[in-house]
Amino acid sequence: MNTNEPTELQNLLTDQLRDIYWAEQKLAKTLPKLAKKAQSPALKTAFTSHLAETKTHIQRLEQVFALLGLKPRAKKCDAMQGLVEEGDGLAEEYAGSPALDAALICAAQKVEHYEIATYGTMRAFAKRLGLTEIVKLLSATLKEEGAADQKLTHIAESKANPEAQQ
Ligand SMILES: [Fe+2]
Ligand SMILES: [Fe+2]
Protein backbone atom coordinates (compact mmCIF):
# COMPACT_ATOMS: atom_id res chain seq x y z
CA MET A 1 0.00 0.00 0.00
CA ASN A 2 1.26 3.45 -0.95
CA THR A 3 1.66 5.36 2.32
CA ASN A 4 0.95 8.65 0.52
CA GLU A 5 -2.55 7.48 -0.33
CA PRO A 6 -5.15 8.91 2.04
CA THR A 7 -6.68 6.39 4.42
CA GLU A 8 -10.39 5.67 4.21
CA LEU A 9 -10.88 7.72 7.40
CA GLN A 10 -9.26 10.70 5.69
CA ASN A 11 -11.50 10.16 2.67
CA LEU A 12 -14.54 10.06 4.93
CA LEU A 13 -13.49 13.31 6.61
CA THR A 14 -13.07 15.01 3.21
CA ASP A 15 -16.43 13.67 2.09
CA GLN A 16 -18.20 15.06 5.15
CA LEU A 17 -16.34 18.33 4.79
CA ARG A 18 -17.71 18.77 1.25
CA ASP A 19 -21.19 17.85 2.47
CA ILE A 20 -21.26 20.38 5.31
CA TYR A 21 -19.67 23.03 3.06
CA TRP A 22 -22.68 22.72 0.76
CA ALA A 23 -25.08 22.63 3.73
CA GLU A 24 -23.65 25.80 5.31
CA GLN A 25 -23.88 27.66 2.01
CA LYS A 26 -27.50 26.57 1.65
CA LEU A 27 -28.16 27.88 5.17
CA ALA A 28 -26.54 31.21 4.43
CA LYS A 29 -29.21 31.62 1.73
CA THR A 30 -32.04 30.26 3.90
CA LEU A 31 -31.53 32.11 7.19
CA PRO A 32 -32.42 35.57 5.79
CA LYS A 33 -35.72 34.09 4.55
CA LEU A 34 -36.40 32.63 7.99
CA ALA A 35 -35.62 35.99 9.61
CA LYS A 36 -38.12 37.65 7.29
CA LYS A 37 -40.84 35.12 8.11
CA ALA A 38 -40.30 35.12 11.88
CA GLN A 39 -42.94 37.01 13.83
CA SER A 40 -41.16 37.85 17.07
CA PRO A 41 -38.19 40.24 17.14
CA ALA A 42 -36.29 37.75 19.34
CA LEU A 43 -36.58 35.04 16.70
CA LYS A 44 -35.68 37.45 13.89
CA THR A 45 -32.54 38.40 15.84
CA ALA A 46 -31.69 34.76 16.51
CA PHE A 47 -31.81 33.95 12.80
CA THR A 48 -29.90 37.07 11.81
CA SER A 49 -27.13 36.51 14.33
CA HIS A 50 -26.85 32.87 13.31
CA LEU A 51 -26.46 34.04 9.72
CA ALA A 52 -23.35 35.97 10.77
CA GLU A 53 -22.05 32.86 12.55
CA THR A 54 -22.86 30.70 9.52
CA LYS A 55 -20.65 32.91 7.35
CA THR A 56 -17.86 32.30 9.86
CA HIS A 57 -18.54 28.56 9.70
CA ILE A 58 -18.04 28.70 5.93
CA GLN A 59 -14.72 30.51 6.41
CA ARG A 60 -13.60 27.94 8.99
CA LEU A 61 -14.43 25.14 6.57
CA GLU A 62 -12.29 26.87 3.95
CA GLN A 63 -9.46 26.91 6.51
CA VAL A 64 -9.98 23.18 7.06
CA PHE A 65 -9.77 22.55 3.30
CA ALA A 66 -6.54 24.57 3.22
CA LEU A 67 -5.06 22.63 6.16
CA LEU A 68 -5.82 19.41 4.27
CA GLY A 69 -4.17 20.83 1.16
CA LEU A 70 -7.46 20.81 -0.73
CA LYS A 71 -9.41 23.36 -2.72
CA PRO A 72 -12.84 24.08 -1.18
CA ARG A 73 -15.41 21.96 -2.96
CA ALA A 74 -19.07 21.47 -2.10
CA LYS A 75 -20.99 18.25 -2.59
CA LYS A 76 -24.77 18.55 -2.62
CA CYS A 77 -26.19 17.58 0.76
CA ASP A 78 -29.54 15.90 0.08
CA ALA A 79 -30.32 15.86 3.79
CA MET A 80 -29.99 19.64 4.15
CA GLN A 81 -31.92 20.18 0.93
CA GLY A 82 -34.70 18.02 2.38
CA LEU A 83 -34.69 19.75 5.78
CA VAL A 84 -34.95 23.17 4.11
CA GLU A 85 -37.76 21.99 1.82
CA GLU A 86 -39.69 20.56 4.75
CA GLY A 87 -39.16 23.83 6.62
CA ASP A 88 -40.52 25.79 3.66
CA GLY A 89 -43.56 23.53 3.61
CA LEU A 90 -44.17 24.01 7.32
CA ALA A 91 -43.79 27.79 7.02
CA GLU A 92 -46.35 27.82 4.21
CA GLU A 93 -48.76 25.65 6.14
CA TYR A 94 -48.55 27.88 9.24
CA ALA A 95 -48.37 31.27 7.52
CA GLY A 96 -50.62 33.67 9.44
CA SER A 97 -50.99 31.20 12.31
CA PRO A 98 -50.00 31.98 15.93
CA ALA A 99 -47.92 28.79 15.65
CA LEU A 100 -45.73 30.13 12.84
CA ASP A 101 -42.72 30.90 15.05
CA ALA A 102 -42.99 27.51 16.76
CA ALA A 103 -43.03 25.90 13.30
CA LEU A 104 -39.99 27.89 12.14
CA ILE A 105 -38.09 26.95 15.31
CA CYS A 106 -39.03 23.31 14.79
CA ALA A 107 -37.54 23.39 11.29
CA ALA A 108 -34.46 25.35 12.36
CA GLN A 109 -33.66 23.02 15.25
CA LYS A 110 -33.71 20.03 12.90
CA VAL A 111 -31.11 21.85 10.83
CA GLU A 112 -28.97 22.67 13.90
CA HIS A 113 -29.05 19.05 15.01
CA TYR A 114 -27.95 17.92 11.56
CA GLU A 115 -25.02 20.32 11.76
CA ILE A 116 -24.16 19.24 15.32
CA ALA A 117 -24.12 15.59 14.22
CA THR A 118 -21.89 16.31 11.23
CA TYR A 119 -19.42 18.54 13.06
CA GLY A 120 -19.25 16.15 16.03
CA THR A 121 -18.50 13.23 13.73
CA MET A 122 -15.94 15.20 11.73
CA ARG A 123 -14.23 16.29 14.93
CA ALA A 124 -13.97 12.68 16.09
CA PHE A 125 -12.42 11.76 12.72
CA ALA A 126 -9.96 14.67 12.95
CA LYS A 127 -9.02 13.71 16.52
CA ARG A 128 -8.37 10.15 15.43
CA LEU A 129 -6.20 11.43 12.56
CA GLY A 130 -4.22 13.70 14.90
CA LEU A 131 -5.31 16.86 13.05
CA THR A 132 -5.13 19.23 16.02
CA GLU A 133 -5.72 22.52 14.18
CA ILE A 134 -8.74 21.08 12.42
CA VAL A 135 -10.13 19.79 15.73
CA LYS A 136 -9.90 23.35 17.10
CA LEU A 137 -11.72 24.87 14.13
CA LEU A 138 -14.48 22.27 14.24
CA SER A 139 -14.85 22.67 18.01
CA ALA A 140 -15.33 26.42 17.66
CA THR A 141 -18.17 25.90 15.18
CA LEU A 142 -19.69 23.06 17.16
CA LYS A 143 -19.90 25.32 20.21
CA GLU A 144 -21.76 27.99 18.21
CA GLU A 145 -24.17 25.44 16.72
CA GLY A 146 -24.97 24.19 20.23
CA ALA A 147 -25.52 27.73 21.51
CA ALA A 148 -27.79 28.53 18.54
CA ASP A 149 -29.82 25.43 19.26
CA GLN A 150 -30.16 26.38 22.95
CA LYS A 151 -31.21 29.90 22.05
CA LEU A 152 -33.99 28.47 19.85
CA THR A 153 -35.12 26.18 22.69
CA HIS A 154 -35.32 29.20 24.96
CA ILE A 155 -37.39 31.24 22.49
CA ALA A 156 -39.68 28.26 21.88
CA GLU A 157 -40.31 27.56 25.55
CA SER A 158 -40.62 31.15 26.72
CA LYS A 159 -42.56 32.63 23.81
CA ALA A 160 -43.29 30.73 20.61
CA ASN A 161 -44.87 27.60 22.13
CA PRO A 162 -47.13 29.49 24.58
CA GLU A 163 -48.25 31.72 21.67
CA ALA A 164 -48.94 28.70 19.48
CA GLN A 165 -51.25 27.38 22.17
CA GLN A 166 -53.54 30.42 22.07
FE1 LIG B 1 -23.20 26.30 10.85
FE1 LIG C 1 -26.18 26.32 12.46
* Structural domain contains residue 77: yes
Question: Residue 42 C-alpha to ligand 2 middle, in angstroms?
Answer: 17
User: What is the model's pLDDT at position 105?
Assistant: 98
**Structural domain count of the chain:** 1
Quote the pTM value.
0.95
* Structural domain contains residue 1: no
- Nearest Cα neighbor of 91 from 72, 116, 110 is 110
* Structural domain contains residue 72: yes
Question: Residue 122 C-alpha to ligand 1 middle, in angstroms?
Answer: 13
Q: Are 53 and 9 in contact (CB under 8 A)?
A: no
User: What is the model's pLDDT at position 146?
Assistant: 98
* Structural domain contains residue 3: no
Task: List the chain residues with pLDDT less than 50.
Answer: none
Question: Residue 165 C-alpha to ligand 1 middle, in angstroms?
Answer: 30
User: What is the model's pLDDT at position 97?
Assistant: 97
* Structural domain contains residue 14: yes
Question: Residue 40 C-alpha to ligand 1 middle, in angstroms?
Answer: 22
Inter-CA distances, 47 with 9, 89, 104, Å: 34, 18, 10
* Structural domain contains residue 2: no
* Structural domain contains residue 147: yes
Q: Which domain holds residue 117?
A: 8-164
Question: Residue 54 C-alpha to ligand 2 middle, in angstroms?
Answer: 6
Q: Are 61 and 20 in contact (CB under 8 A)?
A: yes
* Structural domain contains residue 132: yes
Beta strands in 124-163 (DSSP E): none
CATH number at residue 94: 1.20.1260.10
User: What is the model's pLDDT at position 4?
Assistant: 74
